A = this chain, B = another copy of it.
Amino acid sequence: MKKTIIACAVQQPCNRGRETNLAYSISQIAAAAKQNADLVVLPELHLDHYFCQSEDTACFDLAQPVPGPTCEVLAQVAADNKVMIVSTIFERRAPGLYHNTAVVFDKDGSIAGTFRKMHIPDDPGFYEKFYFTPGDLGFRPIETSIGKLGVLICWDQWYPEAARLMALAGAEVLIYPTAIGWDPSDAAEEQQRQRDAWVTVQRGHAVANGLPVISCNRIGFEPAPDQAQGIQFWGNSFIAGPQGEILTSADDKQDLLLFAELDVQRSEDVRRIWPFLRDRRIEVYQDLLRRYID
């Protein structure tokens, strides 16, 4: 990794239609680059409203090839601004075969690599198993001009396995584009527990792996197409260091750019005092490959 990188998470609403959403993302990328960002992370599926609130075959029309039209635009934006971009695109891989795919554009506009969301959620209001085929690219960090990026997507963030596999494969930072929010009918205490759990588990990945974490969420209310309550996307994007310490964080309302300087040497220093990778009991971890031990 470049010795220090300036990372930027773009917390933005995605409920204003594709054209506006993309234009806004591009303006924010340019603004971040002007403030010397090396790396800009956008929220999961930032092009569109969160269409997974219902199961509707017409929504597959939102998908596009990777590389494809949006990749072409963002490649140009990356090259124009000499900045690395992590975007997430609803990928049409074949008729009837779609993925939730992160694309990393290097500073020269080339595609450094892609990651297809591995863990797919499905619960009321988040019907992702209908839309997204589980990823088949594995947990491979993406090699870029500034280092190896461990890009994962949203539901992946709840899985210590995903973070660990990225770390074992040499990731120098964990990156989570996300679209997560509250059911407005939940009590305030439950909403707070959910948000805190979401922050905590990701900070835990930072700690367990001695790696910084960038988590970028959308904000804003998006109504549901049926009688459901819709989703209040909770923002709270943050960047944490390799001890899980919060370097910068947002609230649940503001669209903004979050900046933090990440220091690769600091990760190694932390791993020297807490050498967790040294002491893993790999000879007795086999049951991690089982669904349940019964």
Contact = CB atoms under 8 A, between A and B. Distances in A.
B279 A196 contact: no
A245 B193 contact: yes
A118 B281 contact: yes
Interface residues of A, number: 53
Contacts of A158: 207-208, 274, 276
A294 interface: yes
The main secondary structure of chain A at its interface with chain B is: helix
A127 to B, nearest CB: 14
Interface in A235-294: 243-245, 273-277, 279-282, 284-294
Given A159-B276, A160-B160, A168-B290, 13 more contacts: A118-B281, A118-B284, A119-B281, A123-B275, A160-B161, A165-B285, A193-B245, A194-B243, A204-B204, A277-B292, A282-B290, A288-B288, A289-B289
Interface of A: 118-121, 123, 134, 138-139, 155, 158-161, 163-165, 168-170, 193-194, 196-197, 200-201, 203-205, 207-208, 243-245, 273-277, 279-282, 284-294
